[in-house]
Chain A
Amino acid sequence: MSEPRVIVVGGGLAGLMSAIRAAEAGVPVDLFSIVPVKRSHSVCAQGGINAAKNTKGEGDSTAKHFDDTVYGGDFLANQPPVKAMCDAAPAIIDLLDRMGVMFNRTAEGLLDYRRFGGTLYHRTAFAGATTGQQMLYALDEQVRRFEAESKVKKYEGWTFLSAVLDGTGVSRGICAMDLRTLEVCTFPSDATVYCTGGIGAIFGRSTNSVVCTGSAQSALFQQGVDYANGEFIQVHPTAIPGEDKLRLMSESARGEGGRVWVPKQPGDARPPLQIPDSERLYFLEEWYPTYGNLVPRDVATRAIHKVIFELKLGVGGEPAVYLDLTHLSREVLDRKLEGILETYQKFLGVDPHVEPMKVFPGMHYTMGGIWVDNETQATNVPGIFAAGECEYQYHGANRLGANSLLSCLWGGMVAGPAAVRHARGLEKGCESVEPSVFEGERKRQEARNERLLLQEGSENPIAIWKEMGKWMTEHVTVTRHNKDLERTDAKLQELLERYNKINLSDRSRWSNQTLCFARELFNMLVLARVITLGALARNESRGAHYKPEFPERDDKNWLRTTRASSADGRIQLRYEPVDTSLIPPRARKYGVAK
């Protein structure tokens, strides 16, 4: 075969790392991204990245990082890949350091580490409170260097539409659309790595960026790529609600000593700093004495919901709790948390140095995602790999803070070379595929555009999206009841019916964002069903998945991975065992040391 070709779809941390590693292995890479890669959602990661470097003499180790991650994920993750990631973490930090990431430093000039949720160790390296941005930039710069050397070709401003599969179900390339000209093209590849990120838009409002729709994952699912543990959705305990987005207030605020509290007296109208300590309920510290404010996110989120909705202690009777930094020194806050304090000040006009922040939980992350194997990030479709938030491998039923940047990079480090090996191992490459395979896919996607652009309908795509988001947030996030999940799935099916009658308010053929959104909307609705049906079926409570009707973790029946597949447009769920060969499952409690 001729020179192998690798495509990477998505230019966030996982995509850039996949591209770097594939290019380094000597294979030219075509890199596709909706936005200029420097604007990818990875920039929003704030608090840091975990690696057990044990620089504070606490006796931390990669084995403890591994245990914290598995325990934090309530034992749903396959353990060998998690161990490999935790073992690789210290060298990943070194690499980022060499690339020039401006991590905070100690007096000795070494990297500083702070505490984060779900661990008792200082294990999180950070660059102020914009660690994701700093890391994305470092990788963006390395890719720019490869680009200057013609080893990577970027297609920025292109959106992925579908995989090109040959008659035997093997991936032979992708079909994508230029967002300006709306031209639909196919691109051949011998291996494709998908790093298409989060799915926040399915919940309407979330902490995610605009491009995090899950559209690519859903398109792949509809083409036969399995999707695993979709029901595990992380709701971050501390976000600032906004009509357009829920802005994250990093866990690092608590890692640096921030305290969460509400007035003990319901509806207490006094300004927060006039409420004496004795009249405040520091509920996380009280209920979870060992981990306190640094319990994992699922635990903190449920506690906040309990305080607000059961105990009716929300600040001023509203759905909010205080996240208080006012007792910390200004110097420390500015050096370590500047980015998020600036965000709060800019968007709410309140200075968190002098007034406690008001926060509420918000949809943040999907632990579930594209099914991949334990060793190579390969999906069930030959030639298709996945890395980063879009896949399911590393976080089980709940992700620990500062593990997502790590899993993006590690996933990319594995997927890039694995894609190259796959491409080089093929007997016949994409060049041997009949042109009609590519032509057929392009025509299918073009026909879909034409239908949307020409049809006269009565439904507004934004209205459908908002309705989906409202239902998903209300019924498929923190607390789940089977009857509501059934109703949600019925609603989603109704929305899919209504989707057939959507009417585009923009029918032009140049830079038409309405068309792209309409295409994404269909995919979001399908993936919303996968999530909802997974949640409905899983009759237990584990990690972020909480059902009051089934309040306990049920290892006997549910220590299993949900694996969803699409067959003739129907969603089918099956289950496979979790590899718990390294750490036997045990009860998960954060009130005491493990």
Chain B
Amino acid sequence: MAEKKTVIVQVKRQASPKDRPHWEEFELPWRPHMNVIICLRDIAERPITRDATPTTPVVYESNCLEEVCGSCAMVINGKVRMACSALVDRLAQPIRLEPMTKFPVVRDLAVDRSVMFENLKRMKAWVPIDGTYDLGGGPRMSPDLQAKAYPLSRCFTCGACLEVCPQINKHNNFVGAAIISQVRLFNMHPTGAMHARERLEAIMGPGGVHDCGNAQNCVKICPKGIPLTESIAEVNREAIRQAVLGWLLGK
């Protein structure tokens, strides 16, 4: 009888931000349609390494498991992606799981991405409304504009674009493509556009759009196929226009 098919998974473990990382290897029974989340759940149910050493379940973030919440981004076989849609049968083995490197590790594969939400706050990434009272409908919008904006608004702040960006490093506080793309989204909205200047001023500041090095890795890695480089170019153009205008008007 043929040997039972198995899946070999190697996980980079780190007990806390202060601890040193180390690798553990697991051998799991193969089943059809497995993804990386199922592997991690198998380990949680039976946390024993391949060399029969008991260990702890792997800590990681996950929620929707259908690639719409942005939680389970991690580096899988050297490439950042969402664990839920990483199908085992399409991955080379051993499958190597590591935390993203551009964010502080919390434990194992869980990292702290709060900086992205803080940057959204800095960029005033919202449509300012007067209140939740009944003030009638919103502005009319052409189907074309909606078709352009909708893909941008699917960004789920997973951080993959930051992970692959060479400008995100210890010597730079670049906000990254996701945030710039959100600036474009809100500047595109008819009401949001009324406050475009505030966002452009913020995005022209330190760590803003000018820190993009044009490596274009972001657009290739985005799990939602968001046209991030187009967003960066567009925000850059707007920013320059605003700067020139400001200079001409002596502001």
Contact = CB atoms under 8 A, between A and B. Distances in A.
Interface in A124-150: 127-128, 130, 133-134, 137-138, 141-142, 144-145, 147-148
Contacts of B140: 108-110
Interface string A8-52: 000000000000110010000000000110111101100000000
A44 B66 contact: yes
A330 interface: no
Interface string B132-151: 10111110111100110110
B69 interface: yes
A91 interface: yes
A472 to B, nearest CB: 18
Contacts of B131: 24
A39 B71 contact: yes
Contact of A94 (B70, B124, B138): B138
A211 B41 contact: no
A209 B114 CA distance: 21
Given A91-B134, A99-B127, A142-B126, A245 B65 contact: yes
Contacts of A147: 121
A38 B70 contact: yes
A100 B189 contact: yes
B138 A100 contact: yes
Interface string B144-181: 00110110011011000000000000000000000000
B54 to A, nearest CB: 8
B47 A505 contact: yes
A397 to B, nearest CB: 27
B127 to A, nearest CB: 4
Nearest to B144: A105
A148 B45 contact: no
B16 interface: yes
Interface in A341-361: 343, 346-349
B14 to A, nearest CB: 10
Contacts of A106: 143
Contacts of B84: 244
Contacts of A443: none
A95 interface: yes
A94 B135 contact: yes
Given A43-B68, A242-B33, A210 B186 contact: no
Nearest to A91: B134
Interface in B44-101: 44-45, 47, 54, 56-57, 59, 61-71, 84-85, 87
B28 interface: no
Contact of A511 (B87, B106, B154): B106
A514 B44 contact: yes
B129 interface: yes
B132 A43 contact: no
Contacts of B192: 100
A102 B64 contact: no
A448 interface: no
B146 A511 contact: no
A513 B59 contact: yes
Interface in A504-532: 505-506, 508, 510-514
A463 B44 CA distance: 11
Nearest to A93: B137
B126 A38 contact: no
Contacts of B71: 35, 39
Interface centre among A110, A145, A242, A244 (most CB of B within 10 A): A244
Interface in B114-129: 114, 117, 120-121, 124-129
A3 interface: no
B33 A144 contact: no
A244 B186 contact: no
A108 to B, nearest CB: 7
Contacts of B199: none
A210 B134 contact: no
Contacts of B38: 243-244
A97 B134 CA distance: 12
A468 to B, nearest CB: 14
A532 to B, nearest CB: 25
B37 interface: yes
A187 to B, nearest CB: 20
Interface of A: 20-21, 24, 35-36, 38-41, 43-44, 91, 93-95, 97-100, 102-111, 127-128, 130, 133-134, 137-138, 141-142, 144-145, 147-148, 156, 180, 209-211, 242-245, 247-248, 335, 339, 343, 346-349, 413, 460, 462-463, 505-506, 508, 510-514
Per CB-CB distance, the 4 closest pairs between chain A and chain B, nearest first, are A97-B138, A109-B140, A141-B126, A100-B127
18 contacts: A24-B131, A39-B156, A94-B134, A106-B143, A141-B126, A142-B126, A144-B121, A209-B69, A243-B33, A244-B65, A247-B65, A343-B66, A343-B68, A347-B87, A348-B33, A462-B44, A510-B107, A511-B59
Given A347-B33, A514-B44, 17 more contacts: A43-B69, A94-B135, A95-B134, A98-B127, A99-B127, A102-B149, A102-B153, A103-B146, A134-B150, A137-B153, A141-B127, A242-B33, A243-B38, A247-B66, A339-B68, A508-B56, A510-B16
